[in-house]
Amino acid sequence: MHPLPPGERPRAFRFGPYEIDLDRRELRKLGLRVKLERQPFEILAALIEQGGEVVSREALRQRLWPGEVAGDQEHRLHKAVNKLRAALCDSAETPRFLETVPRTGYRLLAPLEPLARGPATGPSLSSPAPRFRRAWLFAAVILFFAGAGLVYRLLELRVPGGHGVLVPVPLTGFAGSERSPAFSPDGQEVAFCWEGEAQDNLDIYVTRVEGATRRLTYAAQADSGPAWSPDGRLVAFIRRAGPQKTEIRVVPSGGGPERLLAEVHRALSGRPLAWTRDPRWMVIVDAETAAEPAALFRLSVESGERRRLTTPAGTGGDQSPVLSPDGRALAFTRVTGSEFQAIYLAGLNPEFLPTGTPRPLTDPLRHLDGIAWTGDSRELVFSAGVTPGATFLYRVGAGGQRNVRDIAGVRVAGAQPAIALDGNRMAYVRRNLERASVWRLSFSVPGPPVRLIASTGRDLNVDVSPDGRRLAFVSDRSGSYAVWIANIDGSNPRQITRFDAAGPRWSPDGRRIAVESRTEGESQIHTVDVETGSIRRLTYGRGFNVLPGWSRDGKQIYFSSNRSGRQQIWRMPADGGEALQVTTRGGWHALEDYGRKFIYYSSDSQPPCIRRMLLAGGEEMDVVQAFSGLGNFAVTSGGIYYLVASGPSQATSIHFYQFSDATTRVAARLERPFRNGLSAARDGSWVVYSQTDAQDSDLMLIGNFR
């Protein structure tokens, strides 16, 4: 690409899924308007006008602030470039559109296609989407990844067993996040939920695999979890009708009046219902009382009668039911903690009732996000990962051997898989962008939260060093999840692990950090020397060993393990040795108080709670009820900070439990969804946490799935 003379330059272009009209000053993604401030738009316009040539920082500064001779122009330019990258769902580390040329400026990577006219002025929801655009987009992705010298492994996914190559292509490409795909019985349409072009409310939409997209629901409340009736005439979904009110409704698949089927006790998310092969019944997630763990029920579509299918006593409940295509089995997820679930299987009789006790198909999985049956009813596809924003697709056989493996011989990033009944098509969610950053909130100095650590990726799992001068956190800024450290103000970040790791916790002397890692298969506990980077593995053998924490004297490490059956708190010497079980009622993350009298730990009871017991052992007592996230609490000298979320992907409040009088109060309310990890100063004067700042996802389609 080369710049054209001014008189010959077109004024509208297409690049990737985007179209830009320089005269109208509009940027659109697959026909939908993308909000872009003036300065980021001017930067994009300058790059496009130069047709792939490098545009210097000085030229951009002159364009944005002509005649200005002083000020923080470099900082403002960097900020505007970051906003442009966010709008394009791009990354500085692995750019698709906007490349940084070190010490010089910026360059547009994507090939430009001139348009004879500007992009359409409205969303393309009422008319068929041009198929050539998806084909062109697919080709363009290949071109600019090949041009950058990168291997785009998702474009050629070889299936184990010699079944050929899987080729994902975009199914949707709207602004914001599309999720929860569900195939129609004939496999020609996909229902999904999306917040719309205005990004103001979650509704149900349907797109044809080869055609237009239409909207089905229009209520002011959030709708999610679409599921098709077996005849394809109706789409069922969940509506959050109020803080304590959740409804199951149906709407004609072609559009029309809705009908209320039932109300449930749970504020559900994900895929909380599934239709059976008989249109008279569906399987739903509910509870007989609000205090009980969620279970699966068979719901009569005609009468609303419920019949219990599972009894998840002693667990966090059952979710995400999916029926096998042959109607003989029901798979679902059983919650073993707010971040952990296992896939279970129950046989069904012709009335769609269980024929025996459900059995586990997998060990507990972190952030399990969706399961789907293959067309032959022999395998399940699911997604799981270290964090909700970084999940991958896997397969597991229904025979019970727990033979979990990658979906196509390589790691495929994705979530919420859905497979057509004939087994030949699979849709899933591809997260194009999720930015999470670390923030500090002071309780002693009034003011808003201050962002400490940010990148174009995810920064989370933060922990404060005992002297309050450094932070440890998990970041994917280097391409995979690793543990990093930085000064307390976020400066001088440094990577200290070269393997996938999570849950970092400082030792009391600040010389080591305990982490969990699945690098060698099973989840195991390690310690890392902060200065030398040397690694010591502490746990071995089968078992799910996670969420390490130190004793205050640094001689012991607590962790959670299922080696005795259920997740319990265990304790072992910090340099390795025999591990001893500490709790008996279930436990996940443990911290000692500063006086070394009690251990405080999280439990996966229903609702999840924080318990305490004497350091020497004894009675396990509840101290905090109904908190969110098994590792999301911090012990200070005066009490415990912990999190309470209003719902998945929604804002969170920080609460404080005071030791002196056992009272609880709301310490702060956060505007953005919270991410994993909460840490605090010893005196409780401030906390650090991670939150989601931006996210974007599309639906992908594999047309030759096997």
Out of 3.60.110.10, 1.10.10.10, 1.20.1250.20, 3.40.640.10, the CATH code matching 6-114 is 1.10.10.10
What is the percent of the chain where pLDDT is above 70? 85
**Most confident of the ranges 402-411, 427-436, 633-642, 673-682:** 633-642
* pLDDT given for residue 433 in this prediction: 66
pLDDT at 372: 96
Q: What is the mean pLDDT of residues 568-574?
A: 95
pTM over 0.85: no
Mean pLDDT value across residues 688-697: 84
- The predicted-structure confidence for 442-469, as pLDDT tens digits, reads as follows 999 888 999 999 877 788 889 999 999 9
Does residue 386 register a pLDDT over 90? Answer: no
Spell out where 220-305 has E strands.
223-228, 234-242, 245-252, 259-264, 273-275, 281-286, 295-300
Angle between helices 57-64 and 38-49 (to 10 degrees): 130
Confidence of residue 71 (pLDDT cuts 50, 70, 90): low
Closest CA to 285 of 609, 607, 293: 293
Residue 529 has pLDDT above 50, yes or no: yes
pLDDT at 67: 76
**Least-confidence region, from 277-286, 427-436, 578-587, 640-649:** 640-649
Residue 152 has pLDDT above 60, yes or no: no
Look at residues 205, 148, 141 and name the one whose alpha carbon lies nearest to residue 170: 141
User: How does residue 439 score in pLDDT terms, banded at 50, 70 and 90?
Assistant: very high
SS3 letters across 445-467: CCCCCEEEECCCCEEEEEEECCC
Q: Distance between CA 340 and CA 366 in Å, rounded? A: 4
Residues 348-377: pLDDT tens digits? 999 999 999 999 999 888 788 999 999 999
Task: Note the pLDDT of residue 83.
Answer: 86
* Fold exhibited by the domain 152-432+696-702: Neuraminidase (2.120.10)
Question: What is the distance, to the nearest Å, from the Cα of residue 368 to the centroid of all Cα atoms in its chain?
Answer: 10
CA triple 238-241-245, angle to 5 deg: 90
Residue with tokens 């340099």: 575
Q: Is the pLDDT of residue 510 over 90?
A: yes
Q: Where are the domains of the chain?
A: 6-114, 152-432+696-702
When pLDDT is cut at 50, 70 and 90, the band that residue 270 belongs to is low
Helix, coil or strand: residue 80: helix
Measure the CA–CA gap between 549 and 566, rounded to whole angstroms: 19
Tell me the Ramachandran region of residue 688: left when phi exceeds 0, alpha when psi lies from -120 to 50, beta otherwise.
Answer: beta
